[in-house]
Amino acid sequence: MVLQYYRLVYSLSLAYLSFGHNNCHPHYSFYSNPAQKKKNTNYSSCIASLNVAILNRLRTLLFGPSGAGKTFLAEAFKKFGVTSIDADTIDGLSSWQDSAGKKVSIPDDAGKDFLDSHSFLWDKDFLKEYLKDYSDVFVMGSSGNISDMFDLFDKVYFLDVPDFVQERRLQHPTRLNPMGNTEYQRMNAVQFADALKELARKNNIDFIDATLSPEKIYEIVK
| Domain range summary for the chain, segments of one domain joined by + | 2-55, 58-221
Q: Which pLDDT score, from 0 to 100, does residue 56 have?
A: 59
Tell me what the pLDDT averaged over the chain comes to: 82
DSSP class of 159: E
In the chain, the amino acid numbered 94 is S
Q: Which pLDDT score, from 0 to 100, does residue 123 have?
A: 98
Could you read off the pLDDT of 148-200 as tens digits, one per residue? 999 999 999 999 999 999 999 999 888 877 788 888 999 999 999 999 999 99
Q: How far is CA 44 from the centre of its chain?
A: 33
Q: Which pLDDT score, from 0 to 100, does residue 217 have?
A: 98
Angle subtended at Cα 51 by Cα 50 and Cα 56, rounded to the nearest 5 degrees? 110
Q: What's the CATH number for 58-221? A: 3.40.50.300
Closest CA to 157 of 211, 113, 220: 220
Residue pair 89/176 in contact by the 8 Å Cβ criterion: no
Could you read off the pLDDT of 12-61 as tens digits, one per residue? 444 444 444 444 444 433 334 444 444 444 545 444 444 444 455 799 99
What's the pTM? 0.74
Write out the DSSP string of 62-120: EE--TTS-HHHHHHHHGGGTS-EEEGGGSTTTEEEEETT--EEPPPTT--HHHHTTEEE
Residue pair 60/153 in contact by the 8 Å Cβ criterion: yes
Could you read off the pLDDT of 42-52 as tens digits, one per residue? 545 444 444 44
Strand-strand pairing, 206-209 and 94-98:
unpaired
